Structure 1
Amino acid sequence: MKFGLQYDLRNPLESGRRTPDLYRETLDQIRLAEELGFDDIWLSEHHFVDDGYLPSLLPFAGAVAGQTKHINIGTNILLMPFHHPIRIAEDCAVVDNISDGRFMFGAAVGYRLEEFSTFGVNRKHRGSITEEAFEIIRLCWGEEEFDYVGKHFSFKGVRCTPKPAKKTGIPFWVGAHLGEAIRRAARLGDGLLGGGPAGRAAYVDALKEYGKDFENPRIASSGRFIFCSKEPEKDWSKLARHALYQMQRYAGWFSAAGESIFGEPPKDIPELEARGIYRVGTPEEIVEIIRQEHAAAPYERHFFFPIWPGVEVEMATRSVRLFAEEVIPVLKYL
């Protein structure tokens, strides 16, 4: 199993922290993560959030590429309906060349109502827009000049440069949880980002249906929100309000969009604790959590958010270091 860290660069107003400082400290943590043996860095996208949720993944991915040497850098998730596919293909190829072939492209259809309305994108068309965009991006990364005629995009005589750094190209991951999105991931992607045990099992079934390699599925998943600690109770007392903030936002966004991935927003910390979504645990406890998640439906890459919104980066870095020293060695051959 490979291990990664996911970042959204959220900076709640009440934290009093300057955004440049958060960016700098996060890049410091990413360089340390590479030294500690993590395999992947994943970046998340959302727009119009008052805490500065990272709206522009690829500039930050370029910064990561320029400050690291070996670790993979991926988008998890780039929200495809809000971007022009040719521009995304070009920007991704640039990041891939900066990193000498370490970039991983991960995208999905999006869900937040505010984003669709503000960008002027019809949410009903998000699936077909994304499918066309995926086709165009692959054509852009190919060697031939191409024409394209679709429902949403049409071009003539397109040839994009630079190409991806390696002949094998850029890995193409698709974000999904259930239903048609899982089938889209199996049909159009090289791997699945996200999905609980049911979603991962459905993805394997869809690979079978489409005649793809279902015996060695490429799946990256996260399971619970975790924090590795030598003193779990003490650290949870400091982290709980940040976890509540994070889950109230995520659950609220999904619920407003008619998707019940997290249920209704938790009202308070006891309700959040009762759901079991977050776990601050010892290395031994975190090992068992990931073992159980993997046993329910296997996957090859595990990732988690090390910096919950508003948490001091120094505190999060202690968790990252402990995870690298006492969890990865136990699970890397899983």
Structure 2
Amino acid sequence: MDVGVYFDMRNPMKWRRDPVELYGAFPELCEEIEHQGLDSIWVTEHHGFSDDYLPAPLTLLGAAAARTRRVRLGTGVVVAPLHEAAELAEQAAVVDLLSGGRLDLGLGAGYRPPEFDLYHADLGTRYGVNDDRARRIRELWSSRAVTPSPAQPRVPIWMGYLGPKGARRAGRLGEFLLSPDARNWEPYRLGLIEGGHDPSIARMGGGIQAWISDDPERDWPIVREHLAEQANSYRLHGRMGYSDLPPYKPVDPDVLRDRRPRGRTSTDYFVFGTAAEVAEFVRDFTAGAPVDTVYFWAALPGMQADQVAANIRAVATDLAPLLREIKPSTEHETAGVTR
């Protein structure tokens, strides 16, 4: 199993850093990630967050491409319905060329009304549009209607769907599924069959809500504070534009720490423990599915550069060796279908 780290570049007022310094440190962190032997760097997209959430993931990956030579570079995710297919195809191709063929393009449907309003996009059709973006990007590349072409003959496209309905959609498209939750394997497999695709092409992967420490009780008070900032920011901004949602209530990080994934689309959990404990969770969470890559937060909101660097080293040194021992299940092994 490959192991990477994930950035959203949030910069909350409580721990405000000079944005020039925050973004300027990113390329050096990418060099350190590669130096430490991790396999991938992932970035994401949101708009209008008060903590300055990253709005331009492919732009940021261009900087990562220029400072690395080996690690994969992924979007987890681009909110595809906010962008034209041609724009995404062109930007992704440039990043793939800059990186020498290391891009993983994750596409997500989005969910926040203010973002769709900002881009004059239709929230109600976002799932269909997200699927269409994947189809259209493939068509634009294969026909050379946009140029230049990517370096990779077939850039991996990962559909950022977290539940069974989305997993089935990803399967029908014949693309990879950006979810590490083994419960999504069966609907994904069925979707592949429905779309006329050989299930042996299946790949799953994605983000794990976890943090490691060699002394969890010592480090929890620090992690707790930054985790609260992250969870509350998501809850606050995720409710904007929805009049039918209950009022925002601050999260209790201690409750979140004790919670494990519940619903089929749940990301409202957090695993905090030693590398062995987190690895055991990942093993159980992905068991029986073709999950071959996972990634973890490089930083929680407001963490300083030295804290981020220390976490990257811990993921690379303590956690990654344990996860690389996990072999992703193949379609033949899990579903009894002959390759």
TM-score (norm 2): 0.85
Whichever residue aligns with residue 119 of structure 1, its letter is: Y
Which structure 2 residues correspond to residues 153-232 of structure 1 after superposition, within 5 A? 159-166=145-152, 168-194=153-179, 196-215=181-200, 217-223=202-208, 225-232=209-216
Shift in alpha-carbon separation, 1:164–1:267, aligned structure 2, 3 A: closer
**CA distance in 1: counterparts of 2:239 and 2:202, whole angstroms:** 30
Does structure 1 residue 299 correspond to structure 2 residue 284?
A: no
Q: Which amino acid is 1:19 matched to?
A: P
User: Which residue number in structure 2 is paired with residue 278 of structure 1?
Assistant: 270
CA distance in 2, matches of 1:193, 1:118: 26
Deviation string, structure 1 residues 75-117 (Cα, Å, up to 9, x no partner): 1100011111111111111111111111111101111121112
In structure 2, what residue type is equivalent to 1:174? M
Cα offsets for 1:290-314 (capped at 9, x unmatched) = 2222226451111111201111231
Is 1:327 the counterpart of 2:327 in the alignment? no
Percent of aligned pairs sharing the same letter: 31
How has the CA–CA distance of structure 1 residues 314 and 201 changed in structure 2, closer, same or farther, with 3 Å as cutoff? farther
State yes or no: 1:66 paired with 2:51.
no
Counterpart check, 1:248 vs 2:232:
yes
Distance 2:292 2:40 in 1: 12
8 Å contact 2:180–2:291 — kept in the other structure?
no
- Which residue type is aligned with residue 162 of structure 1? P
Secondary structure of the corresponding residue to residue 31 of structure 1: helix
Structure 2 equivalent of residue 121 of structure 1? 121
The aligned counterpart of 2:131 is 131
Distance 1:50 1:216 in 2: 40
**Deviation per residue, 1:182-226 (Å, 9 max, x gap):** 222112252111263322332223223333232452001233x22
Query: Which SS does the other structure have where 1:28 is aligned?
Result: helix
1:30 paired residue number = 30
User: Which amino acid is 1:278 matched to?
Assistant: F
**Unaligned stretches of 5+ in structure 2?**
243-247, 261-268, 327-339
2:308 to 312, 316, 323: 316
Preserved contact between residue 249 and residue 265 of structure 1 (Cα < 8 Å): no
Alpha-carbon distance, 1:272 to partner: 2.8
* Residue identity in the other structure for 1:99: S
Query: Deviations along 1:223-264, whole A, 9 cap, x unmatched?
Result: 3x2222222112111111211121123244556688xxxxx8
CA RMSD of aligned residues (A): 2.1
Question: Which residue is 1:55 aligned to?
Answer: 55
Aligned twin of 2:337: none
Q: Which moved more, 1:61-70 or 1:117-126?
A: 117-126
Answering whether residue 281 of structure 2 is matched by residue 289 of structure 1, we say: yes
Gaps of 5+ in 1: 145-158, 259-263
Amino acid paired to 2:230: Q
2:75 corresponds in structure 1 to 75
Structure 1 residues 267, 72: closer, same or farther in 2, change over 3 A? closer
Higher mean C-alpha deviation, range 45-54 or range 322-331? 322-331
1:131-164: CA deviations, max 9, x gaps? 33222211221145xxxxxxxxxxxxxx211001
Q: Is 1:236 equivalent to 2:228 in the alignment?
A: no
Secondary structure (helix, strand or coil) at the match of 1:3 reads strand
| Corresponding letter in the other structure for 1:41 | I
